[in-house]
Amino acid sequence: METLLDLVRELSFTRVGGSSEEMAAAEIILREINLAGKEAGSGITGEFMPFKIPGADVEKCSVNAQGREIKSEPFLCSGDIDQECRLLYLGDAMEIDFAELGDLSDTAVLLNGIRDEETFKRLVEHKAAAFLILQGKYYFSAEEASLYARALRPHLLRNGKIPGFIIAAGDAMTLVQEETQTIRLTLKQQDVERDSRNVLAVIPGTRDTKEEIVLTAHYDSVPLGTGSWDNATGAAALLGIYRHFVLHPPKRTLRFLWCGSEEMGLLGSKAYVEQNESSLEQIKFCFNFDMCGTILGVNQIIITGNNELETYVDQYLKRTGYSARTTKGVHSSDSAPFCDKGIPALGLGRDTGTAEIHTIHDLLPTISDKALRQNVDFAIRMVEDMANAAILPIKREMPEERKKELDKYFHRDMEKKTSSVTE
């Protein structure tokens, strides 16, 4: 049997949602699912569940200041521009920063980041010609800043399109320090649809309880590094758990879901929930795996559910001696769309200062087979405890506090705010 680290190693290549590399990673996972099913004599096989994602073909992306080309990446699906613009630095772009501003149709606004939807809405209302976001630390090189193209999220786009660029913080500081007055921006792109896919394997329960548990992990990456930590580790952990249960099926049915295009806004898990709306009632619990198994760090469990689930986790940790830091809230990963349908969830990962996500440094040497195995063994024991219990030890419910957090996470708070104003 391959070690878990061997699986991480095989999946350690950039695999952006909708790309041929993502497809190659999905085929590796499907191969392992089918191989484990064959070896167990179970007849269980995996399947692809395709869905469409938004993307863009970029013809040109250029930021030029006084004849100096500044390395940049575009916000995909944000629109086109070919214009000399006045440059205005607005920092965090608070409401007060816009108080004295009028029409910005001749202006490119440089920001520390998009704080929230309100910030983007202000840019639209003031007709900003473009925006630039800085990334990294001022002392980073452009390469160290790990710039990469990313899609402008739907909750921003619903306010309108503004061409967007990403530049290194060091370059941004130079522009501000030198009081650069104008900047030449070019972005030409064509919006397209791309194909992505989830990978699904179902282990039927030995008893017809009509209660199912879904286990999730995404397998795509951003276009930097090898995506070893984020999230080849989670994909490999899920394969390790699947290998166990295909040999030892529990009373309750287990659904194993490897999600595509998570890095583009949880698109795979959202697609699964939308495609299977009618059967979600049978799913009573979700267990998500994202960024496991680093050499140094602390295990972390994010609890999205009621106090009963929190108590269960606390007692289970004490009973098993598994060391983990627990937090309550919405896990920004593939469990969130399930939680949004009232399904409680745990998110298992490993928090560390020695590995980095979404940078050129997300590489294999930070990962430990031993630490990954410890995470997997713990998850197997907990899933066995739940899936074989006479009565499921947690309730399928979501407290009001978490519902409000989910509203905010999925940007429905802005919709509700706008609705209350217009009524």
> Residue 415 has what pLDDT?
61
Of 8-12, 99-103, 396-400, 412-416, minimum mean pLDDT range: 412-416
Q: What is the average pLDDT across 164-177? A: 97
The CA distance from 228 to 105, in Å, is 42
> Residue 354 has what pLDDT?
72
Q: What is the average pLDDT across 209-218? A: 95
Q: What is the average pLDDT across 333-340? A: 98
- 234-273 pLDDT, tens digit per residue, is 999 999 999 999 999 999 999 999 999 999 999 999 999 9
> Residue 420 has what pLDDT?
42
Determine whether 20 is exposed, middle or buried from the number of CB atoms within 10 Å of its CB (0-12, 13-18, 19+). exposed
| Pairing state between β 130-135 and 68-70 | unpaired
User: Which of 234, 256, 252, 249 shows the shortest CA–CA distance to 376?
Assistant: 234
Q: Give this prediction's pTM.
A: 0.95
> Residue 170 has what pLDDT?
97
For 268, the 3-state DSSP assignment is: helix
> Residue 93 has what pLDDT?
93
Q: What is the average pLDDT across 119-146? A: 96
> Residue 392 has what pLDDT?
93
Q: What is the average pLDDT across 160-176? A: 97
- 12-36 pLDDT, tens digit per residue, is 999 999 999 999 999 999 999 999 9
> Residue 172 has what pLDDT?
98
Q: Which two tokens stand for residue 306?
A: 């009621």
Q: Which two tokens stand for residue 14?
A: 């950039």
User: Which of 190, 189, 212, 188 shows the shortest CA–CA distance to 200?
Assistant: 212
How would residue 417 be classed by pLDDT, with cut points 50, 70 and 90? Answer: low
The CA distance from 285 to 344, in Å, is 5
Secondary structure, 3-state, 335-364: CHHHHCCCCCEEEEEEECCCCCCCCCCCCH
> Residue 352 has what pLDDT?
83
Percent of the chain having pLDDT more than 70?
Answer: 97
The CA distance from 423 to 418, in Å, is 9
Over 50: is that where the pLDDT of 422 sits? no
280: Cβ contacts below 8 Å, ≥ 6 apart: 273, 338, 341, 343
Domains of the chain (ranges plus CATH)?
Answer: 4-54+194-409 (3.40.630.10), 64-191 (3.50.30.30)
How would residue 416 be classed by pLDDT, with cut points 50, 70 and 90? Answer: low
Average pLDDT of the chain is: 95
Percent of the chain having pLDDT more than 90?
Answer: 94
- 274-325 pLDDT, tens digit per residue, is 999 999 999 999 999 999 999 999 999 999 999 999 999 999 999 999 999 9
Over 60: is that where the pLDDT of 421 sits? no
